[in-house]
């Protein structure tokens, strides 16, 4: 290049960098450079710079020359050339774009396989756009991008994208923004970090989202190793390519879905055909799993059957042996949910599932699906599949799996029914043949092997063993066995006679104890190691134990072995096997009974012969010899010897023998302890020696003897002799023989003893007759003494209580000033009289109480007791006694003490006894504490603590005995009968309680007793007492033979406003009562001429007096008889005024209503109205009657009654409906309602009634008094 050209080029570059030069046309610029002059011309057209011309003018002076025309022509030519070039460029670009789109379109339409489409489209796009490489990423279900196709990329880049994902890359950015992106030079910046791309030599990028109908399906990206120039149309081209790929992807997916649906339909059809071609469950399920793999991908699959909250795998694919067994439902929470919720459970990723339980053998599971197998609305199993990839399963796959599960459940049910039918037919055939065989013989040697073979046939086992149970030895022995051709070598090996201790087989022992079948499997992780060892020793994989039970006895069991498969026996198989074994057990028991009967017949025959010999009048020696001969005839080749023990000397002498030479036994005598017979005579225990040569106790008499059986003849603890048998054969005798000898020995012992005792009995008979006469005479005298004692106590009670009643009563009258106030000195004297009378009464009561307790006539009257009121009452009663010695009584009790069920009078009596003792032994100004608390939720504790002299340890048990007091001077200074604590102890024990004392001598004592809150063990309610004072009269007929007490009662009655009429004997009471019609009769029992019992019977038998209430007042306690004869209540002398006041108030009839009360009766029983009219006084009550609910509602609205008596059970409209309608009507909603019914009301009905009624009465218990009281209560509430 010349220097001039170089200068001109530099000048041209300078002119192009000068932007202002493009603003003028023409432009003349003269620039001196190296002695030259340059002329620059800017050629423009319509203000657009088209070109520049630089001319060298050498050293000439610059001249201004006008080139306007030339310039315009040149500019127009240049503009036309430039337009032509731009048009050609646009056409070329459009051609390239169309070529690229056409290539992509052809690639997309060339196949419907998604991977082929993506690979071809990507390759065409990379080539058409002039890039080095590219990729296509599609969106997964969770929204992340996954690499589906790539080309021309470094392996390290694709590996990184596959492992780390595309979220933080340019591809992820384009997918999120859903806009195309083109970067000509990544070094000039990018929206995400591109350092890794730059490291790999990638400098340019272009990408666009793959879109279908406004839905982003993914993105495609192009990469270049050189900077890339992009035009404005490139982004549009990228967008168009993305849309084309989106359409192709969607079409491929739709095509894939159609293909899959067709495949699914074909697979389901094939599965249905498969299920219909076989009923073998194992083959069927394996085929189902193979078909399932075609439409639902899995790495492992299994079908498990559900039994008793445990799943057993019956078919599987891809599982290790360790996981193909069974498992407890609780061990697999997801399986449990599938069963409980009865729907498919999907786990997209087990790492995010808290309920996932890792199972050994499942491998690297990432996603899981479970579907229930439902048959007849019952879950019978679970279909489970899993994958090593996350997010494999979704709703669509779950529906497919559920469809397969339904088919599997149907197939299982069909197979089960088929197998059940076949099994039932086979079972019926086998059972019939077994039954026939069992009924044909009693030979167990034939029966048991046949049963074992039948079990193998009916249950399809490989072998069976039958064991007999020895309960005494706690062992089992094999007595029969059978093995099929499929049995293992170990099973075929004979084990007959082999014995096992049940202690070594705890699971078997437990099954026999529970009498329940037992299944065992080698692969059961919960199996007992010893039982598993038995399975392995037999070469078996499963076993079934069936107890043989007859009646209430376990005779043994049958053991079914299975060496082919680790099967689980079904409930039907177990039931069939159990039936067969039960029949065998019955046959075994029958055979045993038959043998027992035969043996027993022989024994009875033997005993009959012995008894016949004894009854024939033979002497004892002859009878014993006959017995020995009969026994020898029963046994085979046996010698028999019967030896008796001489009293005192301890020597055995032979009395009878059979089978011995005379010289061997003549005069034979043995000492106790000598030889086997001597040992039995000394120890009283039988000996069965199968081989006497090995028994050191044996003494040889006959050299031919090999076995011996000897039993003692005992009468209670006394050994009379021995019965001995010997044989020349070893093992000649059995336990049955021993039992026979024992029975015979017992009978012979009785004969011997009878002969020996006959004389003693005869001698003693006379003596016994004499003693019997004496005892009979003594018994008569004792009965008379007992009668006299009872009569004495009754008379003493009456004779002492009657004057005491007057003393106490009149002294109370004087103290209370009812007949005038006394001077203080006289009042003190009267108080002393009253106190002495009270003390005397207490002594009498103690003696009578003890007498009744000993005779068993003391009864309790339990009732609810307020403990706080009890303690307060006791405090008030004992206070005067404590004041005399200035003692302090502190009472403490727990808050909220519950109600106690007890006899209030008797518990108060016990507390007063304990407090009186504490007062007696505590010095003046001492402290006494009464304490009450709960010992436990069902028991209450009372304690009385004093600060007295205490009790010595040796006396603490004696003080609870009758008439016993602590010895010593202290006790002798104190008065008392010594009965208080004895009676208290008896009363507490009658309540089901316990009393005791704790004392330290010299420091005081604490007496405590416990009572059950629920009351005495046999609590009986008090008899119902009618409150029936006649309201029209204030007369009280007083029948009492003691005039002083009669006057006292009359005085008390006048004080209460009654008019007493006094009568002094039992005669004439009926006539006076009929004449007076009194409101009440008080009646004593012990009356002259006619006692109170007869008077009461006469009063209650007469129609004119039967309704008059009778109150018993007597010194003899017999309230139960009084109530049973019709008395309204019972008082025991002495009678206090307040007691009589309380009773009169309780018996008083209710006050009549202040106005006339209108009562509406709604009942379908017409006879009820006359009855109620008799019960309700006409002057106080108006009765309205309705015979059904509808009429009752009408009368209630029109008459507005004060009270409604309503029956519940009526035809048409029931009482419950009437109640609802009355409550819903404003006119009748406020009327009180009493239900009067014979119906037993349920708890639910009572809850309803409580919201609608004011009372409930039973027709069976309806009385005039109870009805009047209820109506009076409602009337009082209205007021």
List all residues 6 or more positions away from 145 whose beta carbon is below 8 Å from its beta carbon: 137, 138, 139, 165, 166, 167, 171, 172, 175, 218, 219
Please indicate, yes or no, whether residues 101 and 249 belong to a single structural domain of this protein. yes
Please state the three-class secondary structure of 400-461 as a single string. Answer: HHHHHHHHHHHHHHHHHHHHHHHHHHHHHHHHHHHHHHHCCCCCHHHHHHHHHHHHHHHHCC
Please indicate, yes or no, whether residues 1170 and 1141 belong to a single structural domain of this protein. no
Please indicate, yes or no, whether residues 1171 and 1272 belong to a single structural domain of this protein. yes
Please indicate, yes or no, whether residues 446 and 587 belong to a single structural domain of this protein. yes
Please indicate, yes or no, whether residues 1125 and 1173 belong to a single structural domain of this protein. no
CATH code of the domain in which 1074 resides:
3.40.50.2300
Pairing of strands 863-865, 1233-1237: unpaired
Asked whether residue 670 is domain-assigned, the answer is: yes
Asked whether residue 693 is domain-assigned, the answer is: yes
Please indicate, yes or no, whether residues 589 and 518 belong to a single structural domain of this protein. yes
What is the extent of the structural domain holding 507? 441-597
Radius of gyration of the chain (CA): 59
Strands (DSSP E) along 900-985, which ranges?
Answer: 900-902, 927-936, 939-945
pLDDT of 371 higher than 90? yes
Please indicate, yes or no, whether residues 110 and 237 belong to a single structural domain of this protein. yes
| Helix, strand, coil % in the chain, rounded to nearest 5 | 50, 20, 30
pLDDT of 139 higher than 80? yes
Mean pLDDT of the 176-192 span:
89
CATH code of the domain in which 799 resides:
1.10.287.130
Residues 696-753 pLDDT 10s: 889 888 888 999 999 999 888 888 899 999 999 988 888 888 888 888 888 888 888 7
pLDDT of 954 higher than 80? no
Mean pLDDT of the 65-77 span:
57
Mean pLDDT of the 1184-1191 span:
90
Asked whether residue 273 is domain-assigned, the answer is: no
Q: Work out the end-to-end distance of the chain between its first and last CA atoms, rounded to an integer number of angstroms.
A: 140
Please indicate, yes or no, whether residues 1115 and 1167 belong to a single structural domain of this protein. no
Residues 987-1035 pLDDT 10s: 888 888 888 888 888 888 999 999 999 888 754 444 434 444 555 568 8
Please indicate, yes or no, whether residues 1174 and 1269 belong to a single structural domain of this protein. yes
Tell which of 568, 597, 626 closes a domain: 597
- What's the confidence (pLDDT) of residue 57? 47
179, 167 contact by CB (below 8 A): no
- What's the confidence (pLDDT) of residue 239? 83
Q: Choose from 585-589, 725-729, 1130-1134 the range with maximum mean pLDDT.
A: 725-729
DSSP 1208: S
- What's the confidence (pLDDT) of residue 1204? 92
1073, 1097 contact by CB (below 8 A): no
Please indicate, yes or no, whether residues 718 and 772 belong to a single structural domain of this protein. no
Neighbours of 869 (CB within 10 A): 10
Please indicate, yes or no, whether residues 509 and 651 belong to a single structural domain of this protein. no
Total domains in the fold of the chain: 9
- For a pLDDT cut of 70, what percent of the chain falls above it? 78
Asked whether residue 1019 is domain-assigned, the answer is: no
Residues 501-542 pLDDT 10s: 888 888 888 888 888 898 888 878 777 888 888 888 888 888
Asked whether residue 75 is domain-assigned, the answer is: no
Tell which of 231, 259, 287 closes a domain: 259
Asked whether residue 85 is domain-assigned, the answer is: no
Query: How many angstroms separate the CA atoms of 1251 and 1224, rounded?
Result: 13
Least confident range of 7-11, 145-149, 593-597, 677-681: 7-11
Please indicate, yes or no, whether residues 906 and 939 belong to a single structural domain of this protein. yes
Least confident range of 218-222, 947-951, 1004-1008: 947-951
pLDDT of 1119 higher than 70? no
Q: What is the mean pLDDT of the chain?
A: 78
Residues 376-419 pLDDT 10s: 888 989 999 999 888 888 888 888 888 888 878 887 877 777 77
Element (H, E) at 1223: helix 1215-1224
Asked whether residue 77 is domain-assigned, the answer is: no
Q: Which of 637, 556, 633 is nearest to 602 (CA)?
A: 633
pLDDT of 429 higher than 70? no
CATH code of the domain in which 519 resides:
3.30.450.40
b/e map of 617-652 (b: 16 or more CB within 10 Å)?
Answer: eeebeebbbbbbbbbbebbeebbbbbbbbeeeeebb
Asked whether residue 92 is domain-assigned, the answer is: no
């Amino acid at each position: 290049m010349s220097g001039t050209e170089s200068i001109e080029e530099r000048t041209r570059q300078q002119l192009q960098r000068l932007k202002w030069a493009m603003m003028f046309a023409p432009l003349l610029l003269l620039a001196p450079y190296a002695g030259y002059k340059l002329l620059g011309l800017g050629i423009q057209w319509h203000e657009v710079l088209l070109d520049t011309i630089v001319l060298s003018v050498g050293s000439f002076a610059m001249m201004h020359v006008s080139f306007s025309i030339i310039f315009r022509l040149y500019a127009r030519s240049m503009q036309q050339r430039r337009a032509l070039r731009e048009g050609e460029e646009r056409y070329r670009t459009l051609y390239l774009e169309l070529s690229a789109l056409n290539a992509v379109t052809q690639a997309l339409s060339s196949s419907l396989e998604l991977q082929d489409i993506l690979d071809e489209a990507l390759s065409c796009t990379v080539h058409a756009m002039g890039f080095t490489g590219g990729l296509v990423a599609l969106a997964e279900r969770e929204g992340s991008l996954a690499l589906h196709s790539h080309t021309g990329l470094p392996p390290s880049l694709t590996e990184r994208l596959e492992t780390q994902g595309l979220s933080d890359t340019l591809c992820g950015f384009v997918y999120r923004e859903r806009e195309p992106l083109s970067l000509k030079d990544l070094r000039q910046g990018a929206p995400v970090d591109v350092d890794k791309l730059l490291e790999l030599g990638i400098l340019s990028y272009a990408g666009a989202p793959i879109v279908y109908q406004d839905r982003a399906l993914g993105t495609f990206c192009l990469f270049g190793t050189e900077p890339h120039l992009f035009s404005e149309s490139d982004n549009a081209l990228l967008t168009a390519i993305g849309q084309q790929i989106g359409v192709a992807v969607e079409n491929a997916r739709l095509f894939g879905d159609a293909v899959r649906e067709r495949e699914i339909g074909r697979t389901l059809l094939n599965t249905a055909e498969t299920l219909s071609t076989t009923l073998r469950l194992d083959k069927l399920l394996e085929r189902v799993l193979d078909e399932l793999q075609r439409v639902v991908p899995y790495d492992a699959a299994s079908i498990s059957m559900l039994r008793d909250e445990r799943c057993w795998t019956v078919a599987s694919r891809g599982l290790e042996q360790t996981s193909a067994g069974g498992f407890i439902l609780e061990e697999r929470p997801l399986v449990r949910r599938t069963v409980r919720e009865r729907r498919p459970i999907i786990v997209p990723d087990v790492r995010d599932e808290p309920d996932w339980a890792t199972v050994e053998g499942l491998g690297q599971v990432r996603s899981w699906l479970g579907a229930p197998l439902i048959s007849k609305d019952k879950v019978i199993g679970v279909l489970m599949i899993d994958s090593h990839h996350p997010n494999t399963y979704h709703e669509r796959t779950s529906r497919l799996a559920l469809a397969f599960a339904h088919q599997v459940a149907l197939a299982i049910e069909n197979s089960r029914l088929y197998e059940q039918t076949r099994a039932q037919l086979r079972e019926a055939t086998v059972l019939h043949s077994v039954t026939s065989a069992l009924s044909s013989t009693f030979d167990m040697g034939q029966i048991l092997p046949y049963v074992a073979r039948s079990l193998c046939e009916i249950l399809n086992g490989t072998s069976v063993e039958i064991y007999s149970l020895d309960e005494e030895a706690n062992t089992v022995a094999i007595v029969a066995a059978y093995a099929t051709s499929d049995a293992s070598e170990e099973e075929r090996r004979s084990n007959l006679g082999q014995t096992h201790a049940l202690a070594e087989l705890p699971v078997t022992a437990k099954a026999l104890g529970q009498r329940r079948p037992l299944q065992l499997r080698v692969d059961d992780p919960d199996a007992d190691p010893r039982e598993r060892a038995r399975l392995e020793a037999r070469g078996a994989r499963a076993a079934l134990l069936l107890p043989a039970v007859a009646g209430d006895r376990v005779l043994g069991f049958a053991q079914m072995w299975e060496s082919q498969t680790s099967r689980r026996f079904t409930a039907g198989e177990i039931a069939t096997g159990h039936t067969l074994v039960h029949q065998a057990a019955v046959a075994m028991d029958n055979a045993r009974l038959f043998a027992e009967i035969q043996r027993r017949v022989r024994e009875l025959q033997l005993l009959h012969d012995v008894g016949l010999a004894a009854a024939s009048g033979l002497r004892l020696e002859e009878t014993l010899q006959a017995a020995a001969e009969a026994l020898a005839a029963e046994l085979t080749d046996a010698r028999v010897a019967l030896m008796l023990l001489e009293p005192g000397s301890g020597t055995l002498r032979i009395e009878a023998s059979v089978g011995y030479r005379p010289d061997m036994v003549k005069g034979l005598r043995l000492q106790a302890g000598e030889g086997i017979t001597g040992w039995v005579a000394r120890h009283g225990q039988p000996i069965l020696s199968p081989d006497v040569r090995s028994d050191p106790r044996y003494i040889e008499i006959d050299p031919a003897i090999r076995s011996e059986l000897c039993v003692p003849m005992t009468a209670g603890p006394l050994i009379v002799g021995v019965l001995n048998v010997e044989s020349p054969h070893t093992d000649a005798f059995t336990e049955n023989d021993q039992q026979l000898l024992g029975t015979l020995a017992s009978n012979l012992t009785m004969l011997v003893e009878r002969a020996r005792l006959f004389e003693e009995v005869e001698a003693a008979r006379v003596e016994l007759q004499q003693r019997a006469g004496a005892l009979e005479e003594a018994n008569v005298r004792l009965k008379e003494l007992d009668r006299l004692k009872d009569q004495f106590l009754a008379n003493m009670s009456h004779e002492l209580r009657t004057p005491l009643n007057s003393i106490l009563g009149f002294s109370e009258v004087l103290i209370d000033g009812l007949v005038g106030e006394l001077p203080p000195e006289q009042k003190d004297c009267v108080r002393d009289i009253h106190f002495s009378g009270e003390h005397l009464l207490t002594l009498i009561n103690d003696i009578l109480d003890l007498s009744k307790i000993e005779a068993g006539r003391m009864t309790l009257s339990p009732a609810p007791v307020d403990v706080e009121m009890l303690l307060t009452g006791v405090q008030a009663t004992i206070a005067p006694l404590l004041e005399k010695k200035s003692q302090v009584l502190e009472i403490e009790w727990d808050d909220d003490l519950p109600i106690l069920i007890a006899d209030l009078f008797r518990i108060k009596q016990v507390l007063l006894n304990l407090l009186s003792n504490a007062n007696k032994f505590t010095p003046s100004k001492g402290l006494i504490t009464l304490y009450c608390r709960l010992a436990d939720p069902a028991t209450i504790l009372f304690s009385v603590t004093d600060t007295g002299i205490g009790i010595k340890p040796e006396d603490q048990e004696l003080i609870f005995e009758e008439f016993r007091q602590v010895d010593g001077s202290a006790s002798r200074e104190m008065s008392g009968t010594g009965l208080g604590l004895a009676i208290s102890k008896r009363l507490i024990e009658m309540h089901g309680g316990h009393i005791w004392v704790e004392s330290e001598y010299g420091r005081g004592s604490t007496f405590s007793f416990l009572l059950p809150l629920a009351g005495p063990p046999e609590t009986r309610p008090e008899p119902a007492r009618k409150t029936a004072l006649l309201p029209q009269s204030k007369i009280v007929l007083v029948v009492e033979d003691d005039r002083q007490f009669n006057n006292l009662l009359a005085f008390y009655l006048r004080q209460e406003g009654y008019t007493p009429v006094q009568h002094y004997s039992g005669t004439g009471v009926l006539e006076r009562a009929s004449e007076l019609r009194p409101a009440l009769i008080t009646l004593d029992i012990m009356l002259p001429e006619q006692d109170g019992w007869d008077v009461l019977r006469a009063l209650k038998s007469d129609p004119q007096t039967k309704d008059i209430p009778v109150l018993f007042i007597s010194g003899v306690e017999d309230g139960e008889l009084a109530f049973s004869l019709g008395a309204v209540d019972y008082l025991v002398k002495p009678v206090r005024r307040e007691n009589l006041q309380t009773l009169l108030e309780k018996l008083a009839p209710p006050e009549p209503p202040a106005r006339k009360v209108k009562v509406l009766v709604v009942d379908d029983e017409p006879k009820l109205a006359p009855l109620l009219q008799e019960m309700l006084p006409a002057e106080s009550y108006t009765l309205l009657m309705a015979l059904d609910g509808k009429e009752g509602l009408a009368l209630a609205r029109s008459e507005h009654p004060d009270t409604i008596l309503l029956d519940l059970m009526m035809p048409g409209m029931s009482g419950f409906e009437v109640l609802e309608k009355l409550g819903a009507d404003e006119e009748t909603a406020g009327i009180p309602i009493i239900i009067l019914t014979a119906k037993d009301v349920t708890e639910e009905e009572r809850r309803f009634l409580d919201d609608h009624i004011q009372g409930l009465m039973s027709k069976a218990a309806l009385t005039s008094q109870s009805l009047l009281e209820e109506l009076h209560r409602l009337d009082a509430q209205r007021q």
